[in-house]
Structure 1
Amino acid sequence: MLRIRPPPRWVVRAAYASALSATVGFIPLHAVWALGVPLWADKVKFREWYAVGGGPYLFVLSGLALLTGILALSLVRPWGLMFPSWTPFLAGWRVPRRTLAATAFTVSAFLLLYTIWAAAQTIKDFNDDGIFSPWTAVYGIPQFLVWGIGLAIAAHSYRRRTSPGH
């Protein structure tokens, strides 16, 4: 039996905020676009972009968002320490802590770098004509910050709580 102290309440909140940002914040709008609805987009440019694979791309992104939401929760829930009974072949095995923490830190870094890129792209799109309204970034950039920072906080806590000697 693993004896790991639980995460502080504020870390749990950060992880849940990250998971909600990934799922409730990201997926609905991207699912609308994935289904071909040009909401807050230039209709002509959207149709061209969609025709060359925009839909499948957005479905994949939404799936990855769901996985990162699960990742964030795994850092503060018991199933981030020991695989639960319903997981085939892995039930009862200890979750590889370094792999889980490294994955979370990597995803968090990617999200935060993407946020910087999106902010720069938004400035460009206010001066040009992009596919999507630059106002979607007003919604998206804070969401990505919550997602990435919350994930980093949860990963840092997880790494400290699960490291040998703690």
Structure 2
Amino acid sequence: MESKMVIRQSIGFPRLVKWPRRVGYAAALWSLIFGALGLYWVLGGDGFPFGENDPRGQMMGSYLANLSVHVGGTMIALTGFLGIFAALAMVRKWNQKRLYFLLLFYAWVMCAILLFIIPDSRILQNVAYLFMFYFDLIDWIVIHQVFCMIGGVLWGTTALAYYRISRDACGNCGRAGEGASIISASKWGKVFTYCAVLTALPYGIVRFAWAIGIPLGTENIAIIGDFSGEAILGGLCFGGAILTLALIQKWGEVFPRWCLFIAGKRIPIWLVVIPATSVSVIIFLTGLKVSPQVVMMIINGEITMKNWGEMVPTLSWLPWGLSLGIATIAYYLRRRSRCKHCGKF
């Protein structure tokens, strides 16, 4: 009965079942735009978002703060135009193993570069500032990073679809046989969910302390007592921790009573998985960029017992993003029902 209800909820999006065959075309179109931008910059166009055109790059943890327009533009143009052919080739199944592994490797490398190498901590910074209705830091560089992350998602889903199709699995659910054990996913999912909850708290605790005037881990009086700003930043962490518990609680599967006219109805999986996955990627990405800087500051003596609260709590972001991502996978495996495309459970 439960599986039938989930199937009815999914029928409202019939075109989505064809995404494994269509996402490659989307990746090819994105690659065309990406390559055209690289060529434009190589030919002297304005707006190259790295190197000397990005004065905040070093501070925000950019790996490409020293990239020149000639090297960077050429690499972007080549990878973009090559990506057009690679993406189109991944729309169909190939029997040649070498070509299969080469295409799959290219797609996953593109996904990793676009999601975790090109963007920096400005993504999380601006997401947090959106809750304060502060938009002044959104510039072309941030827009370009968002564009690259969209490309990363397209290349990741293209690689996933190509992998599934090539092994004769269902393109929509990935099942080639029986699905993963729900009991197993519940066990390890709880462990990573609690890890995500705990690692979300350190930054929030410090920010809440500053909001109420407690100089926890800092001597910088200028940042103490800004209740609205610090409370929002701290509240995002605590709110995220509470929402993370939905991955293992009943109210993460069924709308609670206070949801009025939708109370008691099952929560669509995508309504939880998409936001949780997006947040985990952004937090992990930021931790990846910030953590090396913080470690070096500790080694160099720039961070001491007098100012540890300003940067040390960000060290929890890397494990926070990772554990939240794994917990989200467990939630998906535990809740998914019979696939309406292949019929496997």
TM-score by length of 2: 0.40
- Residue 79 (structure 1) aligns with: 251
1:133 to 282, 286, 307: 307
User: Cα deviation per residue 1:61-93 (whole Å; 9 max; x = unaligned)?
Assistant: 221112211222111222111112343333112
- Give 1:155's aligned residue: 328
**In structure 2, distance between residues paired with 1:2 and 1:16:** 27
Q: Quick check: 2:217–2:310 contact (8 Å CA) kept in 1?
A: yes
Match 1:108 to one of 266, 280, 288? 280
Q: Could you tell me which runs of 5 or more consecutive residues in structure 1 were left unpaired when the two chains were aligned.
A: none
Q: How many residues align?
A: 158
Question: Could you list the per-position Cα deviations for residues 101-147 of structure 1 after superposition, in whole angstroms to 9, with x for gaps in the alignment?
Answer: 010011111111221232244256556968x8357655541x32332
> Do 1:71 and 1:104's aligned partners in 2 also have CA atoms closer than 8 Å?
no
- RMSD across aligned positions (CA): 3.0
Partner of residue 27, structure 1: 204
1:37 corresponds, among 201, 209, 214, to: 214
SS state at 1:87 partner: helix
Q: Which amino acid aligns with 1:151?
A: L
- Distance in 2, Cα, partners of 1:135 & 1:155: 29
**Match for 1:98 among 270, 281, 288?**
270
Contact 1:122–1:134 (8 Å) recurs in 2: no
The structure 2 residue matched to 1:13, chosen from 159, 184, 191, is: 191
| Equivalent residues of 2:288, 2:318 under 8 A apart | no
**In structure 2, the residue corresponding to 1:39 is in which secondary structure?**
coil
TM-aligned CA deviation for residue 12 of structure 1: 0.7
Q: Given the superposition, is the C-alpha separation of residues 117 and 40 from structure 1 closer, same or farther in structure 2, using an over 3 Å criterion?
A: same
C-alpha distance in structure 2 between counterparts of 1:18 and 1:8, whole Å: 15
Q: 1:129 to 1:26 in 2, by over 3 A?
A: closer
1:9 CA displacement: 1.4
Distance 1:154 1:57, change over 3 A: same
Compared CA separation, residues 22 and 102, structure 1 to 2 (3 A): same
Cα distance between partner residues in 1 of 2:200 and 2:293: 21
Q: Give 1:47's aligned residue.
A: 221
Higher relative contact order (CA 8 A, sep 6+): 1
Alignment equivalent of 1:65, drawn from 226, 237, 240 = 237
Compare 54-63 and 146-155 and name the one that shifted more. 54-63
Asked if 1:122 is matched to 2:299, the reply is no
Letter in 2 for 1:149: L
Q: Distance in 2 between matches of 1:26 and 1:134?
A: 11
Identity over aligned pairs, percent = 27
Shift of 1:15: 0.5
Q: Which has the larger radius of gyration?
A: 2
Q: How far does residue 49 in structure 1 lie from its aligned partner after superposition?
A: 3.7
SS at match of 2:263: coil
Alpha-carbon distance between aligned partners in 1 of 2:207 and 2:246, rounded to the nearest angstrom: 24
Mapped contact 1:125–1:134 kept (Cα < 8 A): no
Q: Does the 8 Å contact 2:279/2:321 carry over to 1?
A: yes
